A and B are shown apart, each in its own frame.
Chain A
Amino acid sequence: MEVKDQAMNSKQKKEKSSKAERRDLQEAQRAAKAAVKAEGNKPSGSVTSVNLKSAKAAKPPQKVDNTSIAASEKKGGDRPSEKDRKKDVPHPRLQYDDKSRVEKAKRRAVVNQTEARNRVELFRHLPQYEHGSQLPDLEAKFFQIDPVHPSVYKVGLQYLSGDISGGNARCIAMLQAFQDAIKDYAVPPEKTLVRDLTAKISSYVSFLIECRPLSISMGNAIRFLKSRITKLPPTLSESESKTSLQSDIEHFINEKIILANKVIVNHAVTKIRDGDVLLTYGSSSAVEMILLHAHELGKQFRVVVVDSRPRLQGKVLLRRLVEKGLSCTYTHVNAVSYIMHEVTRVFLGASSVLSNGTVYSGVGTACVAMVAHVYHVPVIVCCEAYKFHERVQLDSICSNELGDPDVISKVPGREDVNLLDAWANTENLQLLNLMYDATPSDYVSMIVTDYGMIPPTSVPVVVREYSREQVWM
């Protein structure tokens, strides 16, 4: 094999004959295909080229592999970067209007999902399940879910029942559950820690996805965890690997979430002056911390909390702010244009910021940002850097999450408003409960992250520079 390649090499150096050229091309394509296949066999994640080679060596030596390794050596520098770029492209999400894939996923599923009726055509590619039946079903199986660790199970239950919401909290809960799972993990005989633990984490992740689709922050955290697992030096013993992983998760939570929040708070309070009227939408942990810290520093300002049905998260934020002594105004999103003329700054939280500067956050944020833009009020988005993603999204339709439509039809506290109770029986009525929306970057003035205060156009720079392996510790 080597001789042939060298012969080809020499041929290439002299002049490219047409046959060798075609041969080259063919082998390059075969190598690329093998690279993609090798990456596809593993769970999606940022895999380094070192790992790729070791995986290849583990496979029975095939002709294709030899040529690909030889090809990579031949072509020099640019091969690995192309492979890296392909590896970095995250797996596309399961599109739920593809029947065969959905069937396959159902067979492997732990949670029994019954598909909802009356689905909106435009959103058929997103999963929508009957919300009433999932929780009791999962609860009844409590003692039978052997492959899922109890902490992960508990977190899944909390997601499913809506006990935990908010990007940071979900991410932290999941990471803490993984810490417990790693602590109790024991390598089965004849398996390596790296492979088996990665497979186990993948199974936990698919269980959590069945309970509630992952948020982008959770996806980034999982990618980080998997990359740390694959980077474990093989010389470490099992218990040392486990403690190292646990402390890695600890560091991640501390630095990327807790410390990042502190830095964001310190940056953002400089933008609050005395006499300001600040508007916030929904309930974001970062914005809440900013407001409380500014109040502690003694700044005089008042807050307008804008809320929306059906979740009414603003009420919870309002209660906490009022308890600390801030003067607040509370209104719903339908009145935001009436109150915007009083407002001097708008602070918003984000579930994620995408590469083209689009802010992906709770539904209604885009509305608030656009109204603020019309009234020339600066919009400041506070988001930790670990939530950034290299995806580009232009609208709120191609990737979103569908919530429970029944909560739209009910008004809490008003039992007499029950006109929509039998909505499922009406054939030409469909209820849609979107959870997220995308705010275009034109409406965002500034993004405050733990790397500083950046304009939305700098987000891809942060993603590119700071999400390389060396910065994930």
Chain B
Amino acid sequence: MDFQVVVLAGGVSKKLLPLVSKELPKALLPVANRPVLSYVVELLELSNLKDLIVVVEGEDAALNVGAWISGAYADRLHVEVAAVPEDVGTAGAIRAIARHLYAKDILVVSGDLVSDVPIGAVAATHRRHDAVVTALLCNAPISGPLESVSSGGKDKTKKPGRYDLIGLDPTKQFLLHIATGAEVEKDLRIQKSILRAVGQIEIRADLMDAHLYAFKRSVLLEVLEQKGAFNSLKHDVLPYLVRSQLKSEVLLNGIPQAEENGSEKVISQSNQQMLSQILANASEPTFHLRHTLNTNGSDSVRRTHKCCVYIAGSSKYCARLNSIQAYNDINRDVIGEASHLSGYSFSAHNNIIHPTAELGAKTTVGPHCMLGEGSQMGDKCSVKRSVIGRHCRIGANVKVVNSVVMNHVTIGDCCSIQGSVICSNVQLQERAILKDCQVGAGFVVTAGSECKGEVLAKKWN
């Protein structure tokens, strides 16, 4: 179908420290005991897209990701892992792999997207309107109960940063304005020409940009070349394309592609014009056409390009893993409401317990929980709405509520863990009480410590 897929798997994201580390890049962070990248790959595989390019920042991370992918998907997919230097941003990542791109349209997917939206629909909308960029929008997820206590202390100004402000036309097909919430402090600036051309613009704050874009390859590469300062697709390239859609400066390769004629050039110029006129007159003119017609007959051809959107149905799940809060939420959702995404089958109690996991006496595992392979739980434990990874040793009388525990964790007796994330290879000695904490990999929490809202991690060297 002439589409190529690029998965931007990021590297070691600063926002997710201490969960990520050099050995565990963001792409391999486990959600419901599966690396988050696997959700994207499975979604692409479902849509029959078997040729992927995965871009990872940093050589070590690339090696890790590559190793995992070839282990898990060796024969089913054909994946190329490309490593780019760190901190080049998403736009820089595309610049780095530009020579591998040959298809007419490129699908850029963020590696931290957990969703079940059919990708074919985005591609179909892109092709139908012959758009330059098509973005996937979904309903912004309702954040969990721990919104105010974000990582890194009390940062009141960070609160409204989650949503994007999206401007749509009345038919909800075209993107007229996009601004991320973090940039908007007081005012919203909209292009007057766009507003005049369309007439009506609908500004929505409840839609989230899912970071799944379909770009026309020639336009994307041209913009990246011309604007060397652009670092991020979402913050720079996309708003630039949306802003300039009525005074397009990108060279569109010929307004409709002239038909391949074999050897003879039978079509004379006026025939071609008439042909495109008939085709153009046939469809309902979008505001782009009306705008070009409104220029007072001067010969300067005002070119326009189209930025389309695809709004995912409300029944579809879509979330991005870009903060610790989101990590908790996604884990909860994948074993909770969006359980079809996890790919596991649920037991009668509405939870997933691996057959090799051992439960002690009087241990209760509530609904919406997950217990990984080889984990052992002591007596009188209670697990509620949590995910526990593989090969964990959990002592007696432990309460785990609303948390994520990764692999190879040792938890001593009488611990209480609430709303926290505990990375691999951590040792919690007895009677540790953790509330809303994040414990980095390899850490040892001393006995009897009580932590609330802290980040416990080994010092990085």
A interface residues (Cβ-Cβ under 8 A, vs B): 136, 138-144, 150, 153-154, 157-158, 161-166, 168-170, 172-173, 176, 179, 183, 243, 246-247, 250-251, 253-254, 257-258, 261-262, 283, 285, 288, 316, 319-320, 323
Q: What distance in Å separates the Cβ of B159 from its nearest Cβ neighbour in chain A?
A: 35
Q: What distance in Å separates the Cβ of A264 from its nearest Cβ neighbour in chain B?
A: 12
A142-B121, A157-B127, A316-B285 given as contacts; is B1 within 8 A of A258 (CB)?
Answer: no
Question: Which of these, B128, B259, B290, contacts A157 with CB under 8 Å?
Answer: B128
A246-B261, A251-B266, A316-B284 given as contacts; is B47 within 8 A of A143 (CB)?
Answer: yes
Q: What distance in Å separates the Cβ of B47 from its nearest Cβ neighbour in chain A?
A: 5
How many residues of chain B get a CB closer than 8 Å to chain A's CBs?
Answer: 36
The answer to whether A254 and B267 have CB atoms under 8 Å apart is yes
Which residues in A have their C-beta under 8 angstroms from that of B284? 162-163, 316
List, sorted by A's number, 20 A–B pairs whose CB atoms are closer than 8 Å: A138-B124, A140-B121, A142-B47, A143-B49, A143-B123, A144-B47, A144-B120, A150-B2, A154-B127, A157-B124, A157-B128, A158-B128, A161-B128, A169-B281, A243-B262, A246-B260, A250-B259, A250-B267, A254-B271, A320-B281
Which residues in A have their C-beta under 8 angstroms from that of B290? 319
The answer to whether B124 and A139 have CB atoms under 8 Å apart is yes
Q: Is B229 an interface residue (CB 8 A)?
A: no
Chain B 117-157 interface residues, beta-carbon cutoff 8 Å to A: 118-121, 123-125, 127-128
The answer to whether B263 and A243 have CB atoms under 8 Å apart is yes
The answer to whether A183 and B283 have CB atoms under 8 Å apart is no
The answer to whether B260 and A179 have CB atoms under 8 Å apart is yes
Which residues in A have their C-beta under 8 angstroms from that of B274? 258, 261-262
Q: Is B293 an interface residue (CB 8 A)?
A: yes
Q: Is B279 an interface residue (CB 8 A)?
A: yes
The answer to whether B266 and A254 have CB atoms under 8 Å apart is yes
The answer to whether B278 and A169 have CB atoms under 8 Å apart is yes
The answer to whether A154 and B128 have CB atoms under 8 Å apart is yes
Q: What distance in Å separates the Cβ of B97 from its nearest Cβ neighbour in chain A?
A: 21
Which residues in A have their C-beta under 8 angstroms from that of B313? 136
B interface residues (Cβ-Cβ under 8 A, vs A): 1-3, 47-49, 118-121, 123-125, 127-128, 259-264, 266-267, 271, 274-275, 278-279, 281-285, 290, 293, 313
The answer to whether A163 and B128 have CB atoms under 8 Å apart is yes
How far, in whole Å, are A172 and B47 apart by their CA atoms in the complex? 31
The answer to whether A250 and B266 have CB atoms under 8 Å apart is yes
Leading 6 A-B pairs by shortest Cβ distance: A169-B282, A142-B120, A139-B124, A140-B118, A243-B262, A139-B121
Q: What distance in Å separates the Cβ of A309 from its nearest Cβ neighbour in chain B?
A: 15
The answer to whether A323 and B120 have CB atoms under 8 Å apart is no
Closest A residue by C-beta to B104: A150
How far, in whole Å, are A144 and B443 apart by their CA atoms in the complex? 47
Question: Which of these, A150, A166, A179, A285, contacts B259 with CB under 8 Å?
Answer: A179
Question: Which of these, B123, B261, B263, B283, contacts A164 with CB under 8 Å?
Answer: B283
The answer to whether B278 and A168 have CB atoms under 8 Å apart is yes
The answer to whether B124 and A258 have CB atoms under 8 Å apart is no
The answer to whether A139 and B260 have CB atoms under 8 Å apart is no
Which residues in A have their C-beta under 8 angstroms from that of B2? 150
The answer to whether B279 and A172 have CB atoms under 8 Å apart is yes
How far, in whole Å, are A144 and B50 apart by their CA atoms in the complex? 12
Which residues in A have their C-beta under 8 angstroms from that of B118? 139-140, 142
Which residues in A have their C-beta under 8 angstroms from that of B47? 142-144
Q: What distance in Å separates the Cβ of A278 from its nearest Cβ neighbour in chain B?
A: 19
Q: What distance in Å separates the Cβ of A214 from its nearest Cβ neighbour in chain B?
A: 16
Q: What distance in Å separates the Cβ of A183 from its nearest Cβ neighbour in chain B?
A: 6
Which residues in A have their C-beta under 8 angstroms from that of B271? 254, 258
Given A142-B127, A166-B282, A319-B290, 13 further pairs, Cβ under 8 A = A142-B47, A142-B124, A143-B48, A144-B47, A157-B124, A158-B128, A172-B275, A246-B259, A250-B266, A254-B266, A257-B278, A288-B281, A316-B281
Q: What distance in Å separates the Cβ of A139 from its nearest Cβ neighbour in chain B?
A: 4
The answer to whether A164 and B282 have CB atoms under 8 Å apart is yes
The answer to whether A144 and B48 have CB atoms under 8 Å apart is yes
The answer to whether A258 and B275 have CB atoms under 8 Å apart is yes
Closest B residue by C-beta to A262: B274
Closest A residue by C-beta to B271: A258
Which residues in A have their C-beta under 8 angstroms from that of B128? 154, 157-158, 161, 163
Closest A residue by C-beta to B279: A169
Which residues in B have their C-beta under 8 angstroms from that of A251? 266
Which residues in B have their C-beta under 8 angstroms from that of A153? 127
How far, in whole Å, are A164 and B290 apart by their CA atoms in the complex? 17
Closest A residue by C-beta to B107: A143
How far, in whole Å, are A34 and B276 apart by their CA atoms in the complex? 46
Which residues in B have their C-beta under 8 angstroms from that of A143? 1, 3, 47-49, 119-120, 123
How far, in whole Å, are A377 and B34 apart by their CA atoms in the complex? 76
How far, in whole Å, are A76 and B362 apart by their CA atoms in the complex? 98
Question: Which of these, A168, A169, A247, A320, contacts B262 with CB under 8 Å?
Answer: A247
The answer to whether A141 and B282 have CB atoms under 8 Å apart is no
The answer to whether B263 and A176 have CB atoms under 8 Å apart is no
Which residues in B have their C-beta under 8 angstroms from that of A166? 278, 281-282
Q: What distance in Å separates the Cβ of B137 from its nearest Cβ neighbour in chain A?
A: 15
Which residues in B have their C-beta under 8 angstroms from that of A141? 120
How far, in whole Å, are A172 and B267 apart by their CA atoms in the complex? 14
Which residues in A have their C-beta under 8 angstroms from that of B125? 139
Q: What distance in Å separates the Cβ of A412 from its nearest Cβ neighbour in chain B?
A: 10
Q: What distance in Å separates the Cβ of B272 from its nearest Cβ neighbour in chain A?
A: 9
The answer to whether B260 and A285 have CB atoms under 8 Å apart is no
Which residues in A have their C-beta under 8 angstroms from that of B259? 176, 179, 246, 250
Which residues in A have their C-beta under 8 angstroms from that of B261? 246-247, 250
How far, in whole Å, are A61 and B113 apart by their CA atoms in the complex? 62
How far, in whole Å, are A162 and B271 apart by their CA atoms in the complex? 25
How far, in whole Å, are A250 and B267 apart by their CA atoms in the complex? 8
Q: What distance in Å separates the Cβ of B121 from its nearest Cβ neighbour in chain A?
A: 4
How far, in whole Å, are A257 and B274 apart by their CA atoms in the complex? 10
Closest B residue by C-beta to A144: B48
Which residues in B have their C-beta under 8 angstroms from that of A316? 281, 284-285
Q: Which of A143, A176, A257 has the most CB of B within 10 A?
A: A143
Which residues in B have their C-beta under 8 angstroms from that of A144? 47-48, 120
Closest B residue by C-beta to A176: B259
Q: What distance in Å separates the Cβ of A146 from its nearest Cβ neighbour in chain B?
A: 8
Which residues in B have their C-beta under 8 angstroms from that of A179? 259-260
Q: What distance in Å separates the Cβ of A344 from its nearest Cβ neighbour in chain B?
A: 26
Which residues in A have their C-beta under 8 angstroms from that of B285? 316, 319
Q: What distance in Å separates the Cβ of B306 from its nearest Cβ neighbour in chain A?
A: 12
Q: What distance in Å separates the Cβ of A124 from its nearest Cβ neighbour in chain B?
A: 31
Question: Which of these, A154, A288, A323, contacts B293 with CB under 8 Å?
Answer: A323
Q: What distance in Å separates the Cβ of A413 from its nearest Cβ neighbour in chain B?
A: 10
Which residues in B have their C-beta under 8 angstroms from that of A162? 284
How far, in whole Å, are A168 and B47 apart by their CA atoms in the complex? 34
Q: What distance in Å separates the Cβ of A245 from its nearest Cβ neighbour in chain B?
A: 10
Which residues in B have their C-beta under 8 angstroms from that of A168? 278, 282
How far, in whole Å, are A258 and B118 apart by their CA atoms in the complex? 40
Question: Which of these, A183, A262, A285, contacts B278 with CB under 8 Å?
Answer: A285
